[in-house]
């Protein structure tokens, strides 16, 4: 089982997860040509995807889903709330999922789980192949006992480190946007992410990737430092997903 990112941040997100002969794209916030180019960087064509799973309706996650799915006849899985809010899914084979019920796509078992975020029915996902499990948690304003139960025991984790609290407070955003980003339905701050990671840390956790790092209210160095302290490792040992290039394949 392996995973890679097309890019991560407020300008577009996409994560590919592969097990056996199955490859699934989680979210697509990029234009059609850009999505194809980013997939090619990972050695993939769109028609090699089994489909797209969507977390929520914000444009940096769903903006490119309709065009990519229509062009390459890809099925799309998403919650009823996300489907109701989606703007560009005409002609797309949509499969509505229960936010608590696992489903299978080829060699992958996919477990959605709800998160607190300012969207209609947002979810994140845990991907498994029967042996290894990858947890993904971004676009949540806080952790919950259910989130931590879903991510317990994962072998790898893609974890939001959206902002640094001091940078957000002293930064250029208007007060209303600062409250939204920093609120319990916004995005995880470095310290929140580190505290969550400390509770999830276990001996088999092979890789933790910092993701959805704000280019205005955070730095890769601050995100690395926060997670490294939780893992008791060197800052350089914590990879960070970037907006422009995401990250290359990681095997677990």
Nearest to 187 by CA among 83, 115, 240, 134: 115
> For residue 184, what are the CA distances in angstroms to 22, 101, 189, 210, 246?
35, 24, 11, 19, 26
pLDDT at 141: 98
Domain boundaries, the chain: 2-244
pLDDT of residue 30: 98
The SS3 of residue 201 is coil
> Which residues make Cβ contacts (< 8 Å) with residue 37, sequence separation at least 6?
none
Place of tokens 């995880």: 188
Assigned CATH topology for domain 2-244:
Metallo-beta-lactamase; Chain A (3.60.15)
Contact present, 142 and 192 (Cβ < 8 Å): yes
Structure confidence at residue 214 (pLDDT): 98
Predicted confidence at residue 145, as pLDDT, reads 98
The reported pLDDT for the residue numbered 201 is 94
Average pLDDT rounded to a whole number, residues 227-248: 96
Share the mean pLDDT of the chain: 97
Give pLDDT tens digits for 104-121.
999 999 999 999 999 999
SS3 of 187, please? coil
Residue 36: closest CA among 27, 45, 26, 47: 45
The pLDDT of residue 159: 98
CA 22 to chain centre: 18
Mean pLDDT for 193-209 is: 96
Tell me how far apart the alpha carbons of residues 11 and 188 are, in angstroms, rounded to a whole number.
17
**Residue 36 in tokens:** 């194809």
Q: What's the pLDDT score for residue 147?
A: 98
Alpha-carbon distance of 170 to 80, in angstroms, equals 38
Bridge pairing between strands 123-128 and 108-114:
antiparallel
Which pLDDT belongs to residue 242? Answer: 95
Percent pLDDT > 90 in the chain is 100
What is the mean predicted confidence (pLDDT) over 47-56?
98
């Amino acid at each position: 089982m392996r995973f890679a990112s097309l890019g991560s941040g407020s300008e577009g997100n996409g994560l590919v997860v592969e097990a056996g002969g199955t490859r699934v794209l989680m979210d697509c916030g990029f234009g059609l040509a850009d999505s194809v180019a980013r997939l090619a960087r990972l050695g993939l064509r769109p028609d090699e995807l089994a489909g797209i799973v969507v977390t929520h309706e914000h444009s940096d996650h769903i903006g490119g889903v309709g065009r990519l799915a229509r062009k390459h006849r890809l099925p799309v899985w998403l919650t009823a709330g996300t489907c109701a809010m989606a703007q560009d899914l005409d002609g797309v084979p949509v499969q509505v999922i229960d936010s608590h019920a696992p489903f299978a796509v080829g060699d992958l078992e996919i477990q959605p789980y709800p998160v607190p975020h300012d969207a209609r029915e947002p979810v994140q996902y845990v991907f498994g192949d029967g042996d290894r499990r990858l947890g993904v948690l971004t676009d949540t304003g806080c952790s919950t006992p259910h989130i931590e139960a879903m991510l317990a025991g994962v072998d790898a984790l893609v974890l939001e480190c959206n902002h640094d609290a001091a940078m957000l407070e002293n930064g250029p955003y208007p007060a209303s946007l600062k409250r939204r980003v920093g609120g319990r339905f916004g995005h995880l701050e470095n310290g929140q992410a580190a505290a969550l990671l400390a509770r999830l840390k276990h001996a088999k956790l092979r890789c933790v990737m910092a993701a959805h790092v704000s280019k205005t209210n955070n730095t890769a160095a601050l995100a690395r430092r926060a997670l490294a302290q939780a893992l008791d490792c060197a800052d350089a040992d914590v990879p960070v997903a970037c907006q422009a290039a995401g990250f290359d394949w990681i095997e677990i």
